[in-house]
Amino acid sequence: YGLLDEITNSAEEGMSLTHCNHAAFAVRRFSLWASSFHGSLFPHLTLSSDEMVAEFSQMLDWSDSALRSFAWHPHTDKFAVALLDDSIKIYKSNSSPTPTLKHRCQRSVCALQWKPLCGSALAVACQSCLLIWHVDPASLSTRPSSGCAQVLSHPGHSPITSIAWSPTGSLLVSASPVDTSMMVWDVAAESAVPLQRVGGGGVTYLSWSPDGSRLLAATPSALFRVWETRMWTCERWPCLKGSCQSACWSPDGGCLLLSMQGERVIYALTFSDLTGINNTYSSPVTAFFLMKNHLKQLFCPPFFSGSSFVLRAGDSQADNHPSVIAVFKTRSSPVFELLPCGFVMGEAGAEPRFMQFHPHFQHGALLTVCWSDGRISHVPFYFSSAGLLGGDSPQQALASNTTNPSSNKLYTEQIS
Amino acid sequence: MFSLKQNCWFIRKVVIWRAVASIAWSVLLLPVTSAVFVLLSRFSLFHPIQWISECTSLLTASSTIFSLVVLCGVVLITGLFNLEFYTLVPSIPCSRMALLGTVLHPRQCVHSLVYCTMGMLVMWCASVTIGGRYSTLGIPCKQSESGEVVTCLNEYHLFLLLAGAFMGYSHSFLGVVKNMYYVSFQPIQQYKYPRFKGCLPMVVKCSVIQSLYSARNFAALYFFFGKIFINLCITLQLYSSLQPLDSLTGLLDFSLLYHLSISGTFLYFTWYLTVLLFRIYVTEAYSFPVQSTFTEDAEQCLPKVLAETNTLVMKFLALQDLALLSQHSLSRRLEVFSLSQPGGHPHNWNAISRECMSLLSELTQRLLAHQDAVASNGRVKSQSASIDTRSASSSSSVVSGTEDVSETPRLSVPLRTPGSVFTSSVGGMHSALTAPFTPDVDSPFSSPAIRRLVGQQEPRSPWFGTVQSPHIMRRGPKLWSASTESQSNGSPPASPATVPSPPAANQKPSFLAQWLQNRREQVKSFLAKRVLIVYLFNKLPEASSQALFADSQAHIWALQGLSHLVAASFSEDQFGVVQTTLPSILSCLVVLLEAVDRHFKLPHASSKPVRTVCSMGDSTYKTLRFALRAALKTAIYKITTTFGEHLNAVNISTEHRKRLQQFLEFKE
């Protein structure tokens, strides 16, 4: 039967081929025209896959950077670094072995994120798919097999440039600049629900508010959306100029700071209808830096203390000026405030590429910066007096270099 | 047939209306799909104006209106079938024989027959709409020699009608094999319209693919059996001068195949759309009040509804509502933690936590029984070295006395829970009939009478305080547990509550019984060596594992609800009502975790199922065990990260504390 079916099929195909030759040509012409039209609407669609990853990655100059991505574990002293050769290394605070993760699907790693409320799962956004590594924290092996990785993929949903776990760890959202829908994954069941909104031409950056009630989705055009995660409806926020580059939430989820492409301003959005009542996580610590005349990155980990500040990278309009990270204090109540506080500077010639706060540093705040020369440095801030905004001055101690041997120097100095 | 004799208020007031709304929407969408079908079926590239004008005139013609009325009837019947057949817990056949039994079941036969008829009806409408050479069954034609006009059979029309019947049957067949009537819940909540919009492309894609497959299969079938069928069944003689259709050249008619696949797509799309709308409406979240001020509404409140076991859909929606309120609604959480007005007892919290924990410990017991079965089975195998092919999940037994008895694993009633007991509450009378064919089928070789002789049932106390479901048994002593098999004697009791529990507990099997047992084993080992028998009765890999976790969506919600409520109680519980139950919740979770961990060490348990490419049948039940494991770990982490060092003050056993310490250090 199978053979005869095949014969029938191939014969049918032959027939239809001659019929459809002209039609196919016309369709191809039309699709070419349509894609060029589409490309003129959304210029990012004309980029190649690698260029697109480089364009929308949170790591600056992603293509020639030695470090491709970086992620702290949300609960323990452990972080993952993606390297230029597409391998991922996991460093822990004690001197346990450092596992190296390699998988044949793991190419052009653009983002990493550890699953909250889990000791082992690490989500990796790759060029063609999404990988979920399950790295057993108790195991001593340095090369976990590729059997430890789950491969999640959806046709038309690549390259993936941003991923975000829900704070409860139950859902994972992934976004691709070529796909107008973002995928909400139930990772264990390997099933995805697409959430589609056509405007904007794709989704480049995702950020889940720490209380889990909202999700920011930035698009390549001058538009971003804020989804509420209960019934998954969204509100559109058109921007005046460029697209949304980076964003961070205040720890209570009530305030969203945004940086736009080509602008040197930080925007703040406040959401009033908070579901929770607890204000124990009162004020955010936020860091971002300004590169090539626009703000590139904002970071804001959960942090409970009355004191707060923001970091910000200096502008590099003057060529001989090195890039610096500027520190700001913030206060979220009664109104949102930003107060300049200080600067963090790298070695001569080194530019900050990526930064992230340690999610639960005991004594203050710990900022981790990836520099352009491939070093990772940790910059701790100790709060001398908690509570009052004016009273605290971040003391900058030597970076603790427990993990990366190359970063055994500190390049921070207080300027202001 | 349609036994909607559910007297539960939820079925009457909610489910019925949801089904009616879904059917109404499918009827309303019918003109749209018909219009698209008309446009596609009459498509001509070179005469666009003629095409459009023809279609508009056709759409307003009386024949089209009549077709629409017929199609409405078809949609109505499809909707009623959905309501009648839908299930929240899929039935998973554990062997090919069980699958065969499900397909050949009388109820399924009726279903297939109705779908065949409906398929023919839809195809008749389609062929009338397409018109031209397809429009009528008989056409006047001239006999070549005499010249008189007779009525001939129009083979094109017949071809389409038969294709409709074939597609109807394959829809019904695939509905069983792929669990088309299994309704799964989405991981996120969405409003109905966005969800429908999001699913629509998938439905179109599925119906096109399914239609192409069916068209191919039907063409092949017709090529071989078309002539025979016509000669057998039709008394009209073929005087058609046309090319007969069951030849290669007759079938390779591009326009015929195009119309076949277009009509097939229309057919499948109508049915799939009805299924989709039904799924969307039924799985919509329902908000139960946590407590009510009036006593007559008390049975509609969350604590009461959770304890309900007969109406499965209500229990599932209640658990979903619990999971949602624990995450999103502060005011309703406060109601859960509140104390009763006179007396000051935390009735709400007690009822909810007790119900969740009983669900979870029921799963624990089920897993332990399964592991026992596998373990004991392995031991027997190694001793007697007989080819016991139906191994895996089965009775926890080594029959006493005789040395070479390899007790063929028998699936006792407890393990049959997911498939049959629950569907009985939903689908009415059918479960009594399907029960012998559902997941864990009893051995067909043994008659009930023999089994009754062999052993006496040993009554066992339900494991956890309040839960009275008798289908969960405590893990008993191995020596005598063979006797549980007498429960599964062919005709299962109509309701789980009426399972008789004979008083005689430890009765030795009589000599006669042993002799019969030995005979039976000999017959069985003889049969077990035949290839066909082995093929039919061989366990499908991982099916038993899937069947164990078939209703785990409920457990996942219970875990989510419980963990989020406990975590929220850290700051919101004013009276400390949660603290009293915290030790039992923690130990319940840890015990379940140990059972799940052990289950995943079994063969086939941790192998991932093959992902289906595109099908309307929902296959999420295949991965529920992974989802459950992830949800369980997340739930424990949620509690340990919230309470942190305070957990050391909680009174739990040392091993459990050790395990929780692992979680506190994020070493799991």
Straight-line distance from the first to the last Cα atom of chain A, in angstroms, rounded to the nearest whole number: 82
Q: What's A143's DSSP letter? A: S
- Measure the CA angle with vertex B618, ends B612 and B620; round to 5°: 85
Please tell me the distance from the alpha carbon of residue B141 to that of residue B144, in angstroms, as a whole number: 9
Which residues touch B355 (CB under 8 Å, ≥6 apart)?
A: B303, B306, B307, B558
pLDDT at B508: 54
A25 or B337, greater pLDDT: B337
Query: Higher model confidence: residue B386 or residue B296?
Result: B296
Residues of chain A neighbouring B198 (CB-CB closer than 8 A): 181, 193-196
Nearest to B174 by CA among B72, B76, B272: B272
Residue to test with chain A: of B43, B44, B188, most A Cβ within 10 A: B188
* Cα atoms in the 13 Å half-sphere on the side-chain side of B539: 26
Alpha-carbon distance values, B162 to B116, B244, B517, B532 (Å): 9, 15, 51, 32
CA gap A131, A151 in Å, rounded: 5
Residues B79-98: tens digit of each pLDDT: 999 999 999 999 888 888 88
Q: What is the pLDDT of residues B283-293, one digit of tens each?
A: 999 999 998 88
Q: Minimum mean pLDDT among A110-124, A351-365, A402-416, B210-224: which range?
A: A402-416
- Whether residues A138 and B667 touch (CB distance < 8 A) is answered with yes
Give B590 to chain A, closest Cα distance, Å. Answer: 16
For residues A57 and A338, give the distance between their C-alpha atoms in angstroms, rounded to a whole number: 26
Q: How confident is the model at residue B540 (pLDDT cuts 50, 70, 90)?
A: confident
Band of pLDDT at residue A242, cut at 50, 70 and 90: confident
Task: Considering only the beta carbons, identify the residue of A5, A276, A278 that sits closest to B220.
Answer: A5
pLDDT tens for each residue of B121-135: 999 999 998 888 888
pLDDT attached to residue B567: 95
CB contact under 8 A, B637 and A16: no
In this predicted structure, which of A61-70, A337-346, B4-13, B230-239 has the lowest mean pLDDT? B230-239
Per-residue pLDDT, B243: 55
Residue A244 pairs in a beta bridge with A260
Q: What is the model's pLDDT at position B517?
A: 87
Q: Which residues contact B202 (CB under 8 A, 6 or more apart)?
A: B614
CB–CB of B627 and A73 under 8 A? no
Q: What is the DSSP string of B557-602?
A: HHHHHHHHHHHHHHHH-SS-HHHHHHHHHHHHHHHHHHHHHHHTTS
A10 near B CB under 8 A: no
pTM greater than 0.95 (yes/no) = no
- The mean pLDDT value for A97-108 works out to 91
Q: What is the mean pLDDT of chain A?
A: 74
Contact A194 B198 (CB under 8 A): yes
Percent of chain A with pLDDT over 90: 29
Residues of A in contact with B216 (CB under 8 A): 5, 8-9
Cα dihedral sign for B568, B571, B574, B578?
positive
Q: Which residue of B has its CA nearest to A120?
A: B668
B612: nearest Cα among B38, B224, B202: B202
- Chain B hits for A275, Cβ within 8 Å: 328-330
**Mean pLDDT in residue range B40-46:** 84
Q: How confident is the model at residue B667 (pLDDT cuts 50, 70, 90)?
A: confident
pLDDT digits (tens, 9 = 90+) for B150-185: 777 778 888 899 999 999 999 999 988 888 999 999
Instruction: Determine the average pLDDT of the residues in B557-582.
Output: 93
Give the pLDDT of residue A118: 92
Mean pLDDT check: name the lowest of A199-213, A381-395, B174-188, B214-228.
A381-395
What is the β-pairing status of strands A310-313 and A286-291?
Answer: parallel
Q: Which residues of B touch A74 (CB under 8 A)?
A: none
- B53-68 pLDDT, tens digit per residue, is 888 888 888 888 999 9
| Residue B390, C-beta contacts closer than 8 angstroms, at least 6 positions apart | B95, B408, B409, B443, B537, B538, B539
Pairwise pLDDT comparison (A317 vs B544), residue with the higher score: B544
Query: Which residues on chain B are in Cβ contact (under 8 Å) with A20?
Result: none
CB contact under 8 A, A118 and B637: yes
pLDDT category at B428 given cuts 50, 70, 90 is very low
- The larger pLDDT score, comparing residue B201 to residue A278, is at B201
Q: Which of A321-325, B139-143, B199-203 has the highest mean pLDDT?
A: B199-203
- pLDDT per position as a tens digit, B489-526: 333 333 333 334 444 444 555 778 888 888 888 887 77
Nearest neighbour of A119 by CB, restricted to B630, B631, B666: B666
Would you state the CATH architecture of domain A50-239?
Answer: 7 Propeller (2.130)
Are B219 and A8 inside 8 Å of each other by CB?
Answer: yes
Q: Taking CB atoms and an 8 Å limit, are A19 and B623 in contact across chains?
A: no
- For A221, B370, B467, B480, B598, the CA distances from B463, given in Å and listed in that order, are 60, 16, 8, 18, 20
pLDDT, position B489: 39
Cα torsion through B412, B418, B419, B420, rounded to 10: 70
Contact (CB<8Å) A117/B251: no
ipTM entry: 0.81
Please give the full DSSP string across A362-399, using - where no structure is assigned: TTEEEEEEEETTS-EEEEEEE-SS-S-TTT---EE-PP
Please, which pLDDT band fits residue B110 given cuts at 50, 70 and 90? very high
User: Looking at the complex, does the CB of residue A214 fall below 8 Å from at least one CB of chain B?
Assistant: no
pLDDT in tens, A324-369: 777 777 776 667 777 777 777 778 778 788 888 888 887 777 888 8
Is A399 within 8 Å of A355 (Cβ atoms)?
no
Whether residue A362 lies within 8 A of chain B, CB to CB, comes out as: no
CA-to-CA distance for A286 and A303, rounded, in angstroms?
10
Q: Confidence class of residue B440 from pLDDT cuts 50, 70 and 90?
A: very low
What is the pLDDT averaged over residues B569-581?
90
pLDDT exceeds 80 at position A410: no
Mean pLDDT, residues A303-318 taken together: 36
Interchain CB contact of A6 with B (< 8 Å): no
CA closest to A196 among chain B residues: B198
What is the spatial distance between Cα B607 and Cα B610, in angstroms, rounded to a whole number? 9
Q: How far is CA A6 from the centre of its chain?
A: 48
Of the candidates A129, A145, A142, the residue with the CA atom closest to the CA atom of residue A89: A142
pLDDT top residue among A45 and B313: B313
CA distance A179 to A174: 10
At B617-628, the pLDDT tens digits run 788 888 899 999
Answer yes or no: is pLDDT of A207 > 60: yes
- C-beta atoms of A137 and B188 within 8 A: no
Residue B366 has pLDDT above 70, yes or no: yes
Any B CB within 8 A of A28 CB:
no
Q: Which of B187, B629, B667 sits opposite A186 (nearest CB)?
A: B187
- Cα A385 from Cα A388, distance rounded (Å): 7
B254 and A120: CB-CB below 8 Å? Answer: no
pLDDT > 80? residue B630: yes
Considering CB atoms only, which of A184, A276, A277 is closest to B187?
Answer: A184
- Chain B positions touching A19 (Cβ under 8 A) are 254
Q: How many CB atoms lie within 10 A of CB A30?
A: 10
Q: pLDDT band for A24, please (50, 70, 90 cuts).
A: low
Q: What is the pLDDT of residue A104?
A: 92
Please indicate whether, in this complex, the C-beta atoms of B634 and A231 are within 8 angstroms of each other. Answer: no
A145 to chain B, any CB pair closer than 8 A? The answer is no
**How sure is the predictor about B415, in pLDDT bands with cuts at 50, 70 and 90?**
very low
List chain A residues with CB under 8 Å of B223: 4, 8
Residues of A in contact with B257 (CB under 8 A): 12
Please determine, for residue B399, whether its predicted confidence score (pLDDT) is greater than 90. no
Inspect the interface and report whether the beta carbons of B634 and A170 lie closer than 8 Å: yes
**Would you place residue A94 in the very low, low, confident or very high pLDDT band (cuts 50, 70, 90)?**
confident
Mutate to test the interface with A, among B213, B320, B555, B666 (most CBs of A within 10 A): B666
Q: B142 phi and psi, to 5 degrees?
A: -95, 135
A292 to chain B, closest Cα gap in Å: 40
Q: Which residues of A touch B245 (CB under 8 A)?
A: none
Of all residues in chain B, the percent with pLDDT exceeding 90 is 44
DSSP string, A46-96: GS-HHHHHHHH-SSTTGGG-SEEEEEE-SSSSEEEEEETTS-EEEEESSS-
- Domain range summary for chain A, segments of one domain joined by +: 50-239
Q: Please determine, for residue B38, whether its predicted confidence score (pLDDT) is greater than 80.
A: yes
A140 has pLDDT over 90: no
Q: Higher confidence at residue B297 or residue A193?
A: A193
pLDDT at A385: 53
Q: What is the pLDDT of residues A256-290, one digit of tens each?
A: 888 777 776 777 788 876 443 333 333 333 444 43
CA–CA–CA angle B273, B10, B493 (5° rounding): 95
The mean pLDDT of A56-83, rounded to a whole number, is 89
Q: Which residue, chain included where needed, has tokens 């107008």?
A: A180
Q: Which of residues 119-138 of A touch B (CB under 8 A)?
A: 119-120, 137-138
Furthest C-alpha separation in chain B: 104
| Most confident region among B228-242, B259-273, B431-445 by mean pLDDT | B259-273
Angstroms from A324 CA to nearest CA on chain B = 35
Of A247, A259, A246, A323, nearest in space to A292 by CA: A323
Start-end of H helices in B435-505? 448-454
Closest CA to A356 of A346, A370, A339: A370
CB-CB contact of B639 with B567 (8 Å): yes
pLDDT for the residue B588:
95
DSSP three-state, residue A101: strand
Mutation site, A76, A191, A209, A274, interface B, largest B CB count within 10 A: A191
Q: Which two tokens stand for residue A292?
A: 């090539």
Q: Which candidate in A120, A170, A179 is best for mutational testing of the B interface (most B CBs within 10 A)? A: A170
